Amino acid sequence: MKTSSARALSKPATKAGAASAAKPADAEASWTFLSNHTHVLVCLAADPEQTLRDVAAKVGITERAVQRIVSELEAGGALTRERDGRRNRYRLDPTLPLRHPLEKHRSIGDILDLVLGKGR
């Protein structure tokens, strides 16, 4: 008598399962080294007055996702939001250390300098 785990192992893969296990045609474009949080920071560092809709289009995520990321970055002290009439202006803190233990010896400014070049 087979156990449920043995039964699961002996089942043939379905079309959906086989498709998801297959390597995508453009595997190189399916992931990036930098997170969406970093992409949003880079966009706002390059142009602090752009709309979140513009940031979303550049990063390739929804405007709602950018709003969530900006709120998280603001809560973490990485940026502040200043109201300028009907628009927002974003000011980044380049001295803030990165959060992961492997990266905490570096700052947000280090990443921005790397991506945007010195003299941003």
pLDDT score at 30: 81
- pLDDT 10s per residue in the chain (120 long)? 555 444 444 444 454 544 445 555 555 668 899 999 999 999 999 999 999 999 999 999 999 999 999 999 999 999 999 998 989 999 999 999 999 999 999 999 999 999 999 755
Beta bridge pairs of residue 89: 82
pLDDT score at 6: 47
pLDDT score at 116: 95
Q: Tokens 């550049």 — which residue? A: 58
Inter-axis angle of helices 36-46 and 63-75, nearest 10: 90
pLDDT score at 90: 97
DSSP H helices, 1-120, are: 4-10, 15-21, 36-46, 52-59, 63-75, 108-116
For the CA atoms of 61, 64, 69, 71, the dihedral, rounded to the nearest 10 degrees, stands at 160
Question: Residue 9: what are its φ and ψ, rounded to 5°?
Answer: -70, -30
Question: Residue 118: what are its φ and ψ, rounded to 5°?
Answer: -60, 155
What the chain holds in terms of domains, given with CATH numbers, is 33-116 (1.10.10.10)
Q: Tokens 């560092």 — which residue? A: 45
